[in-house]
Amino acid sequence: MTSTTRTGCPHCGWPDDAEPFQVVSRHATAAGSTLWTRCGCGSLQVRTVDDRGTRIVSRSGPAQ
């Protein structure tokens, strides 16, 4: 998975350009797809995938 964010999870440091710990759901869009993923720390992430790469556009806090 190619990420254009070049960062990591602010809660545990898992690299954003690494494979997500778990893919929760995947949805096709007109521009590509949207992935809901879960980081190893439990943070839920929304990733957009299109011709520019993969970007995390939203993320929650870690699981309690």
Q: What is the pLDDT of residues 7-63, one digit of tens each?
A: 888 999 888 888 878 999 999 999 999 999 999 899 999 999 999 998 899 999 887
Kindly indicate the confidence band of residue 6, based on its pLDDT and cuts at 50, 70 and 90. Answer: low
Pair of tokens at residue 38: 């879960």
Residue labelled with tokens 């520019």: 52
Nearest to 39 by CA among 13, 57, 64, 7: 13
Rounded to a whole number of angstroms, the distance between the first and last alpha carbons of the chain is: 27
Classified as helix, coil or strand, 60 is coil
Task: Give the up-direction half-sphere exposure of residue 36: CA atoms within 13 A in the CB hemisphere.
Answer: 6
Predicted local distance difference test score (pLDDT) of residue 57: 92
For the chain, the structural domain boundaries read 1-64
